[in-house]
Homo-oligomer: A and B are copies of this chain.
Amino acid sequence: MIQDKKFTSSNLQQFAQSIFTKIGFSSEDATTIAQALIMANLRGVDTHGVNRIPLYLKFLKTGAMNPNPHIHIINDSPAVAVLEADRASGPVAMKVAQKIILEKAKATGIGLVMIRQTTHTAALGYYTNQLAQEGLISIAMTASKPLMNYFGAKGAGVSTAPISIAVPGPAHDPIVLDMSTGAISYGMLLQHKSLNQPIPSGLAQDDFGNPTTDPSKATIPMPLGGPKGSGLALMIELISAIAVSNPLIAEYFSNSPNAKRHSQNAWLLGIDTYRFCNKETFQKDVLATINGIKSLPVDMEVGEILAPGERGNRMRDRRLIEGVPIPEGVLQELGEIAAHFNIQMPVHIA
């Protein structure tokens, strides 16, 4: 088996920034987007890394994403704002939201920003992690167009609506949960397809909403735990999309010309933790909680007891040293884009 080529994160960062600048983003926004993608790569969430660059091009071409958005608050209150993202890239809109949240949380104890019409929010844990590093307890959710099954139905009715929760950690790294509401991710279905591996039963439907284990036919992931996963995904749509009057599921089922166009809404909240409890006590209690759980006997089938985000932190520390592996197929796609825009491909280190 051929080893993937590896790249330093700073080389990847520079490369991605160059492309984003070339295709119309401001230099500041290009940096912001590249950082979000490369942090996903560093943490091993390679489905949300530089492999998404071709998707960004597609979004710009179809008009789904706006490289020069007019991001502005359309509804404000002391602790909550509705932010019109004007089809900004997710990382760009979320950065504006984070700033508002920090201000509101300082003023009132909590800040919530409901973001309307963003595109490709990227890995949610990235944003909650950053807020937690500022001392905030943070919760984030995103709603997208249907692609996951709704319990009791045949076919897609909801998105795999992710949810992330982060708290400041006892050491430098926050504790960050970042999960989708699906029993299997859409990316995993694609991976089974490319490797022609059968999909475990109960995890997917085909285009007609029939259960399947055939990787060439599986297109619709099933929800986590049936009604719980799809119920959670529906509620995420109701609280993040409908409260900002950008209903995605309703639009998907309508005859609107934009029915199937990519669009998202995001929901980002932060609580000013140490206004409500002592910092040292909080950190001590988080540590004691995790250590308590880790003191249990290990299930050898799993091999290890990990806190949410711990695996990603470890991967990041390793990849910062050893480099980020990029599969040949992704490199080829990126190579074509680089050639088209006359940009140098990054140099690999191994």
Q: Which residues of A contact B (CB under 8 A)?
A: 75, 77-80, 82, 107-110, 112, 114, 137, 139, 150-155, 157-158, 165, 167, 175, 177, 179, 183, 209, 224-225, 227-229, 231-232, 234-235, 237-239, 242-245, 247, 249-250, 252-254, 271-273, 275-278, 281-282, 285-286, 288-289, 291-293, 295-299, 302-308
Contact = CB atoms under 8 A, between A and B. Distances in A.
A299 B209 contact: yes
A79 B82 contact: no
27 contacts: A78-B79, A79-B110, A82-B277, A109-B112, A110-B110, A110-B112, A114-B276, A139-B239, A151-B305, A152-B298, A152-B302, A152-B304, A153-B293, A153-B299, A157-B292, A157-B293, A157-B305, A167-B239, A175-B234, A175-B235, A177-B234, A177-B235, A209-B296, A234-B307, A237-B289, A250-B285, A253-B293
A289 B238 contact: yes
A306 B152 contact: yes
A274 to B, nearest CB: 9
Contacts of A150: 293, 296, 305
Contacts of A252: 292
B250 A288 contact: yes
Contact of A80 (B155, B175, B225, B271): B271
B249 A293 contact: yes
B137 A243 contact: yes
